[in-house]
Amino acid sequence: MKTKILTILSNSDGYVSGQQLCEQLGVSRTAVWKVINRLKEEGYLIDSVSNKGYRLLSQPDVVTSEAILSKLQTNYMGRQVFSYDEVTSTNTVAKQLADEGKEEGTLIVSDKQIQGKGRRGRYWESPKGSGIFMTVILKPKMKPVYASMLTLVAALALNDAITDLTGLEAKIKWPNDVVVNKKKVAGILTELSAEVDYINYIVVGIGVNVSMKDFPEELKDKATSLLLESGKSIGRAQLIAKTMEYLECYYERFLKTHDLSELKETYSKVLINKDQVVRILTEDDSYTGVARGITDEGHLIVEKDNHDLVEVYSGEVSVRGLYSYT
Amino acid sequence: MKTKILTILSNSDGYVSGQQLCEQLGVSRTAVWKVINRLKEEGYLIDSVSNKGYRLLSQPDVVTSEAILSKLQTNYMGRQVFSYDEVTSTNTVAKQLADEGKEEGTLIVSDKQIQGKGRRGRYWESPKGSGIFMTVILKPKMKPVYASMLTLVAALALNDAITDLTGLEAKIKWPNDVVVNKKKVAGILTELSAEVDYINYIVVGIGVNVSMKDFPEELKDKATSLLLESGKSIGRAQLIAKTMEYLECYYERFLKTHDLSELKETYSKVLINKDQVVRILTEDDSYTGVARGITDEGHLIVEKDNHDLVEVYSGEVSVRGLYSYT
């Protein structure tokens, strides 16, 4: 009911009478009053005026289930939310919940991560309250080998949500970073649990630097936050909800063909690598070329210096001009 | 210490004096006596004669850590054992332990499984004490797409262990069944946890029908046990230890090339599909042909009726004459 009241207040410009809330929700005045008080305790600024009712003046920047659900307009993506104050990593929690059978679209969010990991176990900064740490569970019926495409689908959703809410020109560095003004603001870590030819589930972990005002010296050239770049405070719950909405939309389009054929044009438009010099570092090779786009399978197409086109599907990709690669 | 005393007694034909055990283990006579008593309680038949010492007359068919370790001759495979009376499934427990960071070679064994699953969640019979339910954790440094080859590596190890201990002519039905006299005696379920281009871990679950004397009507044509086929009681701990030994050996050979190039000859020799009519059922196709062997990547090579060679890497494969496919 907290979610419902919050949703009604959020969507109303003026006052909503207690009577109206009671009727819409089929509960007593006392019940409404209790929920309003609980919301106030959580940091919601709610004006109560006799004969007029309640009006939501401001919302705290929390990532509770109610805060997210009151803003969410999806059919299934993010509709079941598990929200935590602190977790080792949202991917770890998501994997446990997925093992227990939680359904597709289940969203895990935490205010803080104490063991967040980037790709291959690298450390990812996570100060309390300043970032988004979330993971969504997906269960596409397809072979494990195609799971990597979901990273691109999620990157596209995240990129659009950031652009929408901040007005910034966000770009994607293939395959899994969102970049603003040549610095990283968000990353994605996709993991999967699978049988040989059958996906049990995929967890898509998303980390966003929302309101950090400073970064350690060694990261200053490479990382930034939405606050630093836009000067605006972005509500985390709002950004989470928006990301879920785009994700549902793009994921549905992905499922039609089980590849990126419908999305690759959209993706290429925001691909920061496009027509830029990139350096590819694999286990046994290193070369430079110019990135040209992606394939239906989400591989990066690179035109080597000798004009051969190669498909890059893993390994380290540096883009000239980004993250101190000059 | 229980494991050590059990190992010494198992490897001795005659009596081992208490004095000798004390010296070898650097403990008191009382300590040795206490362990001997505990072993007796667990069902070990140990003859104690003054002036001669202890002699192991018979061992109970248990799958405890001590029973397995006292028979195990490996460097790392199965050297850390987690043994349970009953679990939902050993794969599930193994995934939890692997998530907690347990190392490669860790073995999970249970006397009974209550939610054992076959491929794609199918039910797998598991009455108490009559079967082997075990899972081993592997962490090969390679891309997730190659994980399926480990099923074949494990099948080979299991097949050899069964042949060694029973004298039966065991065969492999590609990719993951062990077959004796045209009926299934064992199966393998491989699952993996991975990032897009990096394996977190693989769990290889192995189920063996050891001493079932009967099967439900609908399975009688398809399933059998080692006891039914060989007339012998096979010690489960012994079979587990032997499987771990072969697995370590084959896994090391696999790691040299990260494919099956060194093992495919050996595998093809015990491949029951070889030169037999097979029916392949995929999501969108169904055809018959003759199986010819496997590729370096572990795919089944099938010669279609028009003599085209195709590589089968997933889907249902039926072999004429097996499991009621006539």
For residue range B300-315, what is the model confidence (pLDDT) as tens digits?
999 998 899 999 887 6
B57-61, B119-123, B267-271: which has the highest mean pLDDT? B267-271
Q: Of A24-28, A121-125, A312-316, B138-142, which range is least confident?
A: A121-125
Q: Looking at CA atoms only, how far is residue B309 from chain A in angstroms?
A: 21
Q: Do B197 and A315 touch (CB under 8 A)?
A: yes
Residue of A107, A106, A102, A112 lying closest to A133 (CA atoms): A112
- For position B120, what pLDDT does the model report? 47
The domain made up of A2-58 has a fold known as Arc Repressor Mutant, subunit A (1.10.10)
Facing A189 at nearest CB: one of B148, B195, B314: B195
Residue recorded with tokens 């039905």? B173
Return d(Cα A147, Cα B144) in angstroms, integer.
10
Please tell me the class of the B65-269 domain.
Answer: alpha beta
A89 annotated ligand-binding residue? yes
Section B81-100 average pLDDT: 93
Section A61-85 average pLDDT: 94
In chain B, where the domains are located = 2-58, 65-269, 277-319
Residue of chain B whose alpha carbon sits nearest to that of A189: B195
**Which DSSP string corresponds to A94-105?**
HHHHHHTTPPTT
Same fold, B2-58 and B277-319: no
Residue of chain B whose alpha carbon sits nearest to that of A201: B193
A141 to chain B, any CB pair closer than 8 A? The answer is: no
Residue B145 makes CB contacts below 8 A (sequence gap 6+) with: A144, A145
Contacts of A137 in chain B (CB under 8 A): none
For residue range B121-166, what is the model confidence (pLDDT) as tens digits?
455 455 678 899 999 999 999 888 888 899 999 999 999 999 999 9
| % of chain B exceeding 70 in pLDDT | 95
Return d(Cα B207, Cα B325) in angstroms, integer.
23
Peptide bond into B175 cis (omega under 30): yes
Q: Are B250 and B263 in contact (CB under 8 A)?
A: yes
Contacts of B137 in chain A (CB under 8 A): none
Q: Do B119 and A190 touch (CB under 8 A)?
A: no
Q: Of A102-106, A252-256, B53-57, which range is least confident?
A: B53-57
Facing A193 at nearest CB: one of B193, B198, B315: B193
Facing B196 at nearest CB: one of A151, A193, A195: A151
Q: What is the DSSP code (8-state) at residue A46?
A: E
pLDDT reading at A122 higher than 60: no
- For position B324, what pLDDT does the model report? 66
Query: In sequence order, what E strands does chain A have?
Result: 45-49, 53-58, 81-84, 107-110, 131-138, 171-173, 177-180, 183-195, 198-209, 277-281, 286-294, 300-304, 309-312, 316-319
Residue of B47, B42, B4 lying closest to B22 (CA atoms): B4
Q: Do B197 and A143 touch (CB under 8 A)?
A: no
B238 annotated ligand-binding residue? no
Residue type, A46: I
Q: Are B297 and B145 in contact (CB under 8 A)?
A: no
Q: What is the DSSP code (8-state) at residue B153?
A: H
Section A296-319 average pLDDT: 88
Among A92, A115, A135, A196, which would you mutate to test the B interface (most chain B Cβ atoms within 10 Å of its Cβ)?
A196
CB atoms within 10 A of CB B321: 12
For chain B, helix, strand, coil in percent to 5 are 30, 30, 40
Q: Establish, for the pair of chains A and B, how many residue pairs have beta carbons separated by less than 8 Å.
A: 68
Among B92, B120, B196, B300, which would you mutate to test the A interface (most chain A Cβ atoms within 10 Å of its Cβ)?
B196
Q: Do B194 and A192 touch (CB under 8 A)?
A: yes
Q: How does residue B10 score in pLDDT terms, banded at 50, 70 and 90?
A: confident
Q: How does residue A118 score in pLDDT terms, banded at 50, 70 and 90?
A: low
Tokens of A50: 């006799």
Q: Are B317 and B292 in contact (CB under 8 A)?
A: no
Residue of chain A whose alpha carbon sits nearest to that of B120: A198
- For position A324, what pLDDT does the model report? 66
Torsions phi, psi for A248 (to 5 deg): -60, -45
Facing B148 at nearest CB: one of A96, A196, A313: A196
Facing B120 at nearest CB: one of A99, A195, A315: A195
Q: Do A147 and B196 touch (CB under 8 A)?
A: yes
Strand B81-84 relative to strand B107-110: parallel, antiparallel, unpaired?
Answer: parallel
Q: Radius of gyration over alpha carbons of chain A, in Å? A: 21
CB atoms within 10 A of CB B127: 12
Residue of B314, B318, B313 lying closest to B287 (CA atoms): B318
A100 to chain B, any CB pair closer than 8 A? The answer is: no
The domain made up of B277-319 has a fold known as SH3 type barrels. (2.30.30)
Return d(Cα A248, Cα A264) in angstroms, integer.
17
Section B176-195 average pLDDT: 93
Q: How does residue B198 score in pLDDT terms, banded at 50, 70 and 90?
A: confident
A175 to chain B, any CB pair closer than 8 A? The answer is: yes
Return d(Cα A36, Cα A41) in angstroms, integer.
9
Q: How high is the mean pLDDT of chain B? A: 89
A176 annotated ligand-binding residue? no
Q: How does residue B112 score in pLDDT terms, banded at 50, 70 and 90?
A: confident
pLDDT reading at A326 higher than 80: no
A194 to chain B, any CB pair closer than 8 A? The answer is: yes
- Distances in Å between the Cα of B232 and the Cα atoms of A48, A138, A181, B227 are 82, 48, 72, 5
Q: What HEC string does B30-54 produce?
A: HHHHHHHHHHHHCCCEEEEECCCEE
- Distances in Å between the Cα of A101 and the Cα atoms of A129, A137, A138 are 29, 10, 12
Q: Are A213 and A228 in contact (CB under 8 A)?
A: yes
- For position B116, what pLDDT does the model report? 59
User: How far is CA A125 from its chain centroid?
Assistant: 16
A18 to chain B, any CB pair closer than 8 A? The answer is: no
Q: Are A181 and A224 in contact (CB under 8 A)?
A: yes
Facing A196 at nearest CB: one of B151, B194, B196: B151
Facing A145 at nearest CB: one of B119, B145, B200: B145
Contacts of A95 in chain B (CB under 8 A): 99, 193
B156 burial level (CB within 10 Å; 0-12, 13-18, 19+): buried
Residue of A83, A319, A107 lying closest to A206 (CA atoms): A107
Residue A214 makes CB contacts below 8 A (sequence gap 6+) with: none
- For position B117, what pLDDT does the model report? 59
Tokens of B324: 């009621």
Contacts of A143 in chain B (CB under 8 A): 314
- For position A137, what pLDDT does the model report? 98
